[in-house]
Structure 1
């Protein structure tokens, strides 16, 4: 069994419905320094959305035809993928409630047509208005979308901000898990923008690493003990800096207190409430993933490919995991068992 827990999807109607297209662009352009436009894909009859942050620096590309069900299922078959979890490709940050409702309806419909091979996530603005909470209930109880997808930050606010406390209180009450997707660049992004690979890869890592670190030290896990989070991009390679960021020893090393102490169980809370979705396997390298498993445990790593960003990531990903020097049981955890548990498949 192989579950690809990071298969990107947006409704194909976005490319053909001019009214929907204008609505989508109107909620992104100029918001949080994002800008979006549509242009033809050179040499084809297809169009693509290009999302820039800041203006002039492309960070997301949505290409017509890449999200059609028949293509997705055929590519999954070719790659040996049994099931997949659909994720929105980086646009959750700016969607308003009306678009969230539309996307949720279309995602549930798309998953239903897949015959059980695709699972969709709910997307809801993370503010505790009556309308947002009702949409969360509708997704869970009526549409069967049991996990909510969030952006690592909204504007200049990461998820530990009090603006989101009411929403997380509701998730805590419902025992509902959340998938936390990276944005292409962190809140402070000026130094990341110049080079494509720095912006589109390292920017995502820094964004996720900051998100996990802020959750850990803000008391987030104390306030919402029933909320489990899956962070994309391996939490920004959080495994590599986890020991550095956790408190070390008693706070009596001198007259000046330079670091925050432990509330008694930060490491335990992190272990209990956070898992890491790799987003794609091969770019981490064999040693990188083996080290991640040695630090956080195979039961905390979820396989994903970021399809359709690069077909090689999907087609070669499962075999890449099978070639890691870890046990057979650990490979099974990464390839499907952890996703089954987290996403209630």
Structure 2
């Protein structure tokens, strides 16, 4: 049996829940399956039964951060990172911990450095916006410089956005169902076309949900870039695109995508992602513990879907383990 490493799943602990309830009592209206998070033996037993060797874990929190003031959230952020380290330490052979910083300035840059240098976490999770600011904002250059120096990957998770402020759970959860993939594509587009990835050459990014809308917009993105590079003087705001030092493929080659597409066993979405990202940049990931079956169904469905997919055996090996092994420093995997 080939190795399998789940490159993007989550944990949540009661200690973190209580810390954030103090900051934002409303966040309790949506929380993941705490039992599956807290009961490490149950999770390991499940991984054993379905044949997953390791799991990269991040602290969940996409429904927590929007209502937290950055000035109030640093202690809870430190606790969350201590907790993901503690969780991973219960079985270091099975869990690879990644830290989280919801904001990207000041003390949160220091917290990133603590995650990598003191806690020895494998990378850092951020969100598709930080306190309402897009990820290419000039305020975040110090954060990107720190990540560039540390040479660890960034995991990006979608977050509720001001682009659809009127949507909430009463609107059929459309912000998560359809808005989050858009936000992921928008965030990566801003990092590429603004020149952030040009200025910080060591940045590598893992996107959730197969890169959101990126695979479906490839031809449109390429056509727009070609047009603006050819007729830049006719388009306000094209300067950063014209100033890129490399073809856009050089930047997208540093963007990875997981297979967490809420799998129902179909492969057409995966095929689109494979065509866009290429076989070296797709990572097996399942978004545990979200979805049906107490957070187990997507993981159980994704594995046979990839196994039975009509792609070369080499491609399956890369997706299941080799790509994430290449992405992470050996001592952190």
TM-score (norm 1): 0.81
CA offset digits 1:272-300 (Å, max 9, x no partner): 32111232462583112112212220111
Alpha-carbon separation, structure 2, partners of 1:172 and 1:278: 26
**DSSP-derived class of the 1:116 partner:** coil
Contact map agreement 1:303 1:336 (CA 8 A) in 2: yes
Counterpart of 1:286 (choices 244, 267, 273) is 267
1:214-253 residue pairs with structure 2 within 5 A?
A: 214-246=190-222, 247-249=225-227, 251-252=229-230
Aligned equivalent of 2:307: 322
Aligned equivalent of 2:80: 103
Alpha-carbon separation, structure 2, partners of 1:102 and 1:204: 26
Misfit runs of 4+, over 6 Å: none
1:9-158 residue pairs with structure 2 within 5 A?
A: 9-14=11-16, 21=18, 23-28=19-24, 35-36=26-27, 49-51=28-30, 61-67=31-37, 68-91=39-62, 93=65, 94=68, 96-129=73-106, 131-158=107-134
Alpha-carbon separation, structure 2, partners of 1:28 and 1:330: 44
C-alpha deviation, 1:151, in angstroms? 1.0
1:211 and 2:187 matched: yes
Contact map agreement 2:282 2:323 (CA 8 A) in 1: yes
TM-score (norm 2): 0.84
Judging changes above 3 Å, is the alpha-carbon distance between structure 1 residues 284 and 216 closer, same or farther for their aligned structure 2 residues?
Answer: farther
Contact map agreement 2:59 2:81 (CA 8 A) in 1: no
Q: Which structure dedicates a bigger proportion of its chain to helix? A: 2
Alpha-carbon separation, structure 2, partners of 1:161 and 1:270: 18
Alpha-carbon separation, structure 2, partners of 1:252 and 1:14: 51
| Count of matched residue positions in the alignment of Structure 1 and Structure 2 | 311
Unaligned 5+ runs, structure 1? 16-20, 30-34, 37-48, 52-60
C-alpha deviation, 1:208, in angstroms? 0.5
Contact map agreement 1:90 1:182 (CA 8 A) in 2: no
Alpha-carbon separation, structure 2, partners of 1:253 and 1:97: 46
CA offset digits 1:5-25 (Å, max 9, x no partner): 22210123346xxxxx1x312
**DSSP-derived class of the 1:309 partner:** coil
Judging changes above 3 Å, is the alpha-carbon distance between structure 1 residues 205 and 192 closer, same or farther for their aligned structure 2 residues?
Answer: farther
CA offset digits 1:89-118 (Å, max 9, x no partner): 234744722112112222112111114100
C-alpha deviation, 1:253, in angstroms? 5.8
Contact map agreement 1:276 1:300 (CA 8 A) in 2: yes
CA RMSD of aligned residues (A): 2.5
1:270 and 2:248 matched: no
Alpha-carbon separation, structure 1, partners of 2:157 and 2:229: 34
Alpha-carbon separation, structure 2, partners of 1:309 and 1:14: 18
Alpha-carbon separation, structure 2, partners of 1:305 and 1:64: 17
